[in-house]
Each structure stands twice: as structure tokens, then as C-alpha cells.
């Protein structure tokens, strides 16, 4: 009986020594995999730096320009805008697929006012092996022209990102084969995220993306 206990004790000691030897290797492997996952190409590094510089310029404009939402309709307390880290994985390309027919729908602003807009088309992108669709809307400008909009909500909405939703600028090209870039690193908050003096379009339930878009602008107010 004592002999068996001694053998078991020696075996436990060997196993413990093996765990001690293996642990540094496991930690090194984890660190290696982590660092590999964050390695970017020269082009990606340049892209990240460009976005960071643009964010600095926008921050300065928001704070100081008389026409910014912090200054134009009454002074609003300013602090630096918040962003997710720039992530090249949230840049996609797609053609514009037009709806037929193009339905005119009613959406609402954050002050409750109805607005007419046309659900014009959509873009497609693949994220984590699943295809997603994001709508493009056509609206009439005050000066009589037309403009196009993308707005969306996602699984970060009302948590890390603005509770109403976020927007992406879209400029339509008169070429049905044109390939558009969808860059969620440019997703931004509408002016109503900063000041109650503005009203902005509320994305519809069809504009919800069932994923976390951890790119672009975060909530301004905590």
C-alpha cells in the first residue's frame, strides 16, 4: 500500500513538472498567434494612419468650426469623439443592386416628424462567411436635388454605439457595373447624437445588421 502511494506521488510530481515545462510554451504560442492576428501589410498600416489623421481633423472641426453641431444651433459642451479601433477587416466592396419597384416609404426623425424617402437599392457584403445586405435610400434635398443615404443599426447599437443608429456617406455613380466601397470605419453619428437641437432619420427594422460592427464612431454620451 505504501509502495503504491509512493509511486502515485512520484507520478504526480512528474506530471506537475511536465505542466511547468509546457506552460511557457503555451503562453508563447498564444502571444505569437495574437501578434500574428494584428499584423498588417504596409498598405493597411498606411490606411490605418490615414483614418487616424482624418479623425483628428474631424475632431478639430467639430470643436472649433462655427457650423459644427456643437456651435451652430447654440453652444454644446464638447469632448473628443470616440471611435472603435481602425479595422481594415470592415472594408467591403459591392455593386449597387437596385430595387424594382423602388418603394417610397415613410421614416421618422428623432423629433417624431415623418419623412418620405425611396428605398432605392442595396449593397451586399460578406462578414464571417455570412452575406449581409445594407440598404441605400434616395431622398429629396431642400434645394430640389436628390441625395443618397445609408443608415443602419447593429448589435453594438445602444451599447457601445449610438442608440439611434449610425450613417455612412454614399455617392451614387451612373454606372450599373460600378464597384462601391463600404467602409464601416467611416460610420458616423448623426448630429442628433450630440445636440437635441437636431433631428435625424431613424433606421428602420430592415436596416438592422445582425452582427457587431465594431468599427467607426462610438457613443458620444455615456
199 has pLDDT over 90: yes
Where are the chain's structural domains?
1-39, 79-207
| Listed residue (80, 122, 116) closest to 98, CA to CA | 122
**pLDDT (0 to 100) of residue 38:** 60
Q: What is the pLDDT of residues 6-57, one digit of tens each?
A: 444 445 544 444 443 443 343 333 333 333 446 899 999 999 999 999 999 9
Q: Cα(35)–Cα(19) distance, rounded to whole angstroms?
A: 24
pLDDT at 143: 82
Its pTM stands at: 0.81
> pLDDT at position 19, please?
45
> Cell numbers of 135, please?
440598404
CA angle 17, 19, 25 (to 5 degrees): 115
Are the beta carbons of 47 and 62 closer than 8 angstroms? no
CA distance 152 to 134: 8
Using a 10 angstrom Cβ sphere, with 0-12 exposed, 13-18 middle and 19 or more buried, the burial of residue 109 is: middle
CA distances to 51, 100, 173 from 121, rounded to whole Å, are: 27, 9, 13
- Mean pLDDT calculated for residue range 184-203: 97
pLDDT band at 142 (very low <50, low <70, confident <90, very high): confident
Amino acid at each position: 500500500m505504501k509502495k503504491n502511494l509512493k509511486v502515485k506521488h512520484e507520478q504526480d510530481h512528474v506530471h506537475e513538472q511536465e505542466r511547468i515545462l509546457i506552460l511557457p510554451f503555451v503562453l508563447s504560442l498564444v502571444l505569437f498567434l495574437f501578434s500574428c492576428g494584428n499584423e498588417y501589410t504596409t498598405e493597411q498600416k498606411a490606411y490605418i494612419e490615414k483614418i487616424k489623421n482624418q479623425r483628428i481633423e474631424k475632431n478639430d472641426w467639430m470643436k472649433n468650426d462655427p457650423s459644427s453641431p456643437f456651435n451652430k444651433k447654440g453652444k454644446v459642451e464638447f469632448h473628443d469623439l470616440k471611435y472603435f479601433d481602425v479595422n481594415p477587416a470592415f472594408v467591403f466592396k459591392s455593386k449597387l443592386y437596385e430595387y424594382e419597384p423602388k418603394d417610397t416609404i415613410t421614416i421618422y426623425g428623432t423629433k417624431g416628424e415623418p419623412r418620405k424617402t425611396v428605398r432605392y437599392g442595396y449593397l451586399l457584403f460578406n462578414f464571417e462567411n455570412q452575406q449581409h445586405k445594407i440598404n441605400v435610400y434616395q431622398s429629396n434635398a431642400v434645394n430640389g436635388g436628390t441625395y443618397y443615404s445609408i443608415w443602419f443599426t447593429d448589435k453594438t447599437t445602444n451599447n457601445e454605439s449610438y442608440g439611434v443608429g449610425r450613417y455612412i456617406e454614399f455617392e451614387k455613380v451612373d454606372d450599373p457595373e460600378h464597384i462601391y466601397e463600404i467602409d464601416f470605419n467611416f460610420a458616423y453619428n448623426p448630429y442628433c447624437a450630440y445636440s437635441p437641437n437636431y433631428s435625424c432619420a431613424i433606421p428602420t427594422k430592415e436596416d438592422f445588421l445582425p452582427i457587431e460592427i465594431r468599427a467607426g464612431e462610438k457613443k458620444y454620451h455615456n
